[in-house]
Amino acid sequence: MSMSHRARSTRLPSTALALLLQAAALQATAAGLTHSGEDIVNTGGHLYQAKCAVCHGASGKGDGPYANLLTARPSDLTLISRRNDGEFPLWKIYETISANEMVPAHGVRDMPIWGQELADEAATLGMNEKSYIRGRIFSMIAYLLSIQQP
């Protein structure tokens, strides 16, 4: 038996956005819905304004009304890619929003400050909590991708 079949490294899709929209589209398909990329970004924008803008600012620049009350300054979310050599760190941001990766101002790991709200919404809609929250996070990430500045 030869060892000639070496595992080849899998190449990532060219942009994080393509990957993200694929994931969001799969979720939409699974839910029996079809959404365009634009719908997903709009949904994410509404969620962002409702749950994040109070600290990160309406435009994402980190200047929301609560910013001055916090010890850590809310990150400028329009410069995530710029801070990461031009690459949007998709999974790191997913982990940050889902609270696997902790930001103290976001609350505790088991319950980021928006977690209970999203869980309640899922219950009200009679939807699977995990899938619902995952979809909401992906739509917020799609929105964040749309506001990145070069």
CB of 21 to ligand HEC, least distance (A): 18
The answer to whether residue 93 forms part of the interface with ligand HEC (CB under 6 A) is: yes
The answer to whether residue 16 forms part of the interface with ligand HEC (CB under 6 A) is: no
Question: Three-state SS for 64?
Answer: coil
Residue of 19, 25, 31, 105 interacting with ligand HEC (CB under 6 A)? 105
Return all residues near 79 (Cβ < 8 A) that are at least 6 apart.
148, 149
* Residue of 110, 88, 86, 85 whose CA lies nearest to 99: 110
The answer to whether residue 108 forms part of the interface with ligand HEC (CB under 6 A) is: no
| Binding positions for ligand HEC, 33-72, rule CB under 6 A | 51-52, 54-56, 66, 70, 72
The answer to whether residue 96 forms part of the interface with ligand HEC (CB under 6 A) is: yes
Phi, psi of 95 (to 5 degrees): -65, -40
